[in-house]
Structure 1
Amino acid sequence: MIKIDVDMNKCQHYGQCVFEAPEVFQLNADDKLEYQAEAPDEMLGDLEAAADVCPMQAITLMRE
């Protein structure tokens, strides 16, 4: 499993991560980011892409 953390103090809710990994990241009705705290290893590529495109570099990934 991959643990996902988004520093909500850095996150500006641009939503670029949503395009890379929509199964994990979503914008809610108020356009605020929501995300799952864990994802399967098979999603590593999409999650790394999401972390890379984050303009605020607010996403941290950790493998268990």
Structure 2
Amino acid sequence: MFKIDSEKCTDCQSCLEVCPCGAIHEDENAEVCVIDVELCAECGACQAECPFEAIEETDE
């Protein structure tokens, strides 16, 4: 499972653009991206694309 660290995320949306599942969307209130774990295929494309290392793999 992947999680976006809201303190590192700059809302550049690079991850959103490469997600093949459409699992990432922008939280307009927080101005960061978030991952919908129900849709996420855990492929890691978002983590590889993030220039700010804001996406972390978790055991949760």
Distance across 2 between alignment mates of 1:39 and 1:62: 15
Amino acid at match of 1:24: A
Aligned to 1:27: 26
Determine what percentage of the aligned residue pairs are the same residue: 17
How many residues are treated as equivalent by the alignment?
59
**The structure with more radius of gyration:** 1
Structure with the bigger percentage of helix: 1
The RMSD of aligned alpha carbons is: 2.8
How high is the TM-score relative to the length of structure 2?
0.67
User: 4+ residue runs of structure 1 moved beyond 6 angstroms?
Assistant: none
Alignment gaps of 5+ in structure 2: none
Alignment gaps of 5+ in structure 1: none
Structure with the bigger percentage of strand: 1
Q: How far is 1:13 from its partner?
A: 0.6
Q: How far is 1:51 from its partner?
A: 0.6
